[in-house]
């Protein structure tokens, strides 16, 4: 089947605009996805940083608790030392001495634990300082990337508006309603590809006519009658396999 139309060139132009419009839409979608990725990456890093800060808080509380224990321990030692002067019986005196020794060794343990925690806190503070600095730098960089991509989206949207208005103008200029409807249906069903150029391959084994014509939409070879019709002036043939409009341009 063939369609000869005075709007031949306009139909091809319409297809070209439709393809660019779809590409630009894709570009915007990709940019939006990239922006989301950059944003979620930086917020994941911030979440991780919060965990380090939580850890730091825990250590501070632990330190405070141990310092309380230490104070209690020292008070008990003092109290028992006073009691040493007051007891009369030898057994009681000995028992107090043992109690004081135990408390002193407990005090040593607590002091060691406090030292360990202080060391951990120092390490953590260093890491907090460095991580914070790194995140701040990365956030600055991320903000710049996001704002660049956003301005690219803005520009692309303006360009898209212009393309769409050009497409509408061309569409309105095409008077053949049936061809218009056919193309719109193909755009919808064939992923935006309604009118395609013929694909010519040379096959030297075919001595008499070495050129073979294919629909570049579906890659199926055209029948010999379609192959001869396609070269007629202002004429599309309808691909028998994919129904797209196939055209020839010398």
Count of residues in the chain: 250
Of 102 and 219, nearer to Zn ion (C-beta) is 219
Nearer to Zn ion, 105 or 223 (CB): 223
Residue among 73 and 179 whose Cβ is closer to Zn ion: 179
Residue 195 burial class via C-beta count within 10 angstroms: exposed 0-12, middle 13-18, buried 19 and up: buried
Distance CA 12, CA 141 (A): 44
Q: What's the min distance (Å) between Cβ of 248 and Zn ion? A: 14
User: At a CB cut-off of 8 Å and minimum separation 6, what does 152 contact?
Assistant: 31
- Least distance to Zn ion from the beta carbon of 219, Å? 7
d(CA 150, CA 34): 10
CB-CB contact of 34 with 149 (8 Å): yes
* CA distances for 231 relative to 14, 84, 176, 212, angstroms: 20, 120, 21, 13
Pick 131 or 199: Cβ nearer Zn ion: 199
* Nearest distance from C-beta of residue 247 to Zn ion, angstroms: 12
> CB-wise, 217 or 227, nearer to Zn ion?
217
Q: How far is the CB of 151 from Zn ion (least distance, A)?
A: 40
Output the smallest distance, CB 212 to Zn ion, in A. 14
CB of 201 to Zn ion, least distance (A): 15
Secondary element (H or E) of residue 4: strand 2-4
- Site residues (vs Zn ion, CB under 5 A): 215, 217-218, 239, 241-242
Return the SS3 of 243: coil
User: Exposed, middle or buried: residue 182 (CB in 10 Å: 0-12, 13-18, 19+)?
Assistant: buried
Nearest to Zn ion of 117, 183 (CB atom): 183
């Amino acid at each position: 089947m063939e369609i000869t139309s005075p709007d031949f060139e306009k139909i091809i132009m319409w297809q070209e605009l439709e393809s660019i419009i779809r590409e630009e839409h894709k570009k915007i979608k990709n940019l939006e996805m990239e922006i989301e990725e950059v944003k979620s990456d930086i917020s994941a890093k911030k979440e991780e940083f919060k965990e380090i800060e939580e850890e730091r808080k825990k250590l501070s509380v632990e330190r405070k608790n141990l310092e309380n224990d230490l104070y209690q321990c020292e008070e008990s030692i003092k109290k028992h030392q006073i009691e040493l002067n007051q007891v009369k019986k030898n057994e009681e005196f000995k028992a107090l001495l043992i109690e004081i020794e135990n408390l002193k060794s407990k005090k040593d343990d607590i002091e060691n634990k406090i030292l360990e925690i202080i060391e951990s806190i120092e390490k953590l503070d260093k890491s907090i300082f460095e991580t914070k600095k790194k995140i701040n730098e990365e956030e600055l960089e991320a903000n710049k990337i996001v704002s660049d991509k956003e301005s690219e989206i803005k520009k692309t949207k303006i360009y898209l508006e212009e393309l769409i208005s050009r497409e509408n103008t061309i569409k309105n200029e095409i008077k053949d309603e049936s061809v218009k409807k056919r193309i719109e249906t193909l755009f919808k069903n064939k992923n935006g590809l309604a009118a395609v150029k013929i694909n010519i391959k040379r096959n030297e084994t075919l001595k008499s006519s070495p050129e073979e014509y294919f629909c570049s939409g579906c890659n199926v070879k055209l029948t010999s009658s379609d192959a001869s019709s396609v070269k007629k002036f202002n004429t599309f043939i309808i691909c028998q396999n994919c129904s797209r409009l196939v055209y020839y341009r010398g």
